Amino acid sequence: MYTEKVMDHFQNPRNVGEIENASGVGTVGNAKCGDIMRIYLDIDENQIIRDVKFKTFGCGAAVATSSMATELVKGKNIQEAMQVTNKAVMEALDGLPPVKVHCSLLAEEAIHAALWDYAEKNGIKIEGLEKPKSDIHEGEEEEEEEY
C-alpha cells in the first residue's frame, strides 16, 4: 500500500520531538478524524528554519508526511518553506494512496500553522500565509470512486 519512501519515513521518522521555547508551534487536525500533527520551528533572525521537530498522532502516512515535511523545510527560509506544498511532500515520498492524500494536506497545514504562530509572535506578515483552518478535514476528502 505504501511506497518504500513512506515506509522508511514511518519506520525511521526524522525530527521527532519537541523544541523548548520554539519560535513557532502549530497543531492541526483533530482526534476525531484520527490525525493530529504538531510542528515546532526554531527560526533564526534571518528567518531561516534552523531546526524543526514534530509529534504526530495518526496513521503511517500521517507520520511519514510529517517527517518528510520537516525534512523539506529544515534549513530553508520562511519564504521557501511556504513553497513546501502537500504535492511537494507527496512527490518526495513517491506518492500516497488516494485515501491518504489528506495526510499530506495536513502536513502542509501544520507547517503553515507553525509559521503563523511565529508570525503572530513576531508581529510580522508572511506573504501568502493564511490563518490556519481549525479542521483541515472539512471538504478535503478525495472520493476515490467517481462513477
Partner 1 sequence: MKKLIYLDNAATTKTSPEVVSAMLPYFTEHYGNPSSVYGFAAANKEVITKQREIIAGVLGAKSNEIYFTAGGTESDNWALTATAEAYAAKGKHIITSKIEHHAILHTCEYLEKRGYEVTYLDVDENGLVDPKAVEAAIRPDTILISVMFANNEIGTIEPIAEIGRIAHEHGVLFHTDAVQAFAHVPINVDECNIDMLSASGHKLNGPKGIGFLYIRKGVKIRSFIHGGAQERKRRAGTENVPGIVGLGKAVELAAASMQERMDYEIELRDYLIDRIEKEIPYCRLNGDRKKRLPNNVNFSFRFIEGESLLIMLDMKGICASSGSACTSGSLDPSHVLLAIGLPHEIAHGSLRMTLDEETTREDVDYVVDNLKEIVAQLRSMSPLYEDFVKKQA
Nearer to partner 1 by C-beta: 51 or 80?
A: 51
- Among 16, 48, 88, 119, the residue binding partner 1 under the rule CB under 8 A is 16
- Among 48, 88, 99, 119, the residue binding partner 1 under the rule CB under 8 A is 99
Note if 59 is an active site residue.
no
Nearer to partner 1 by C-beta: 58 or 132?
A: 58
- Among 35, 108, 109, 117, the residue binding partner 1 under the rule CB under 8 A is 35
Residue 50 CA to residue 57 CA, distance in Å, equals: 24
Please pick, among 33, 59, 119, 126, the residue that the annotation labels catalytic.
33
SS (H, E, C) 57-86: ECCHHHHHHHHHHHHHHCCCEHHHHHCCCH
Q: Assign residue 43 a region (left: φ > 0; alpha: ψ between -120 and 50; beta: otherwise).
A: beta
Q: E strands along the chain, which residues?
A: 24-30, 35-43, 49-57
Nearer to partner 1 by C-beta: 45 or 147?
A: 147
Among the residue ranges 82-90, 112-120, 123-131, 139-147, the one whose residues contact partner 1 (CB under 8 A)? 139-147
94 binds partner 1 (CB under 8 A): no
Q: How many CA atoms lie within 13 A of 14 on its CB side?
A: 15
- Active-site annotation, residues: 33, 103
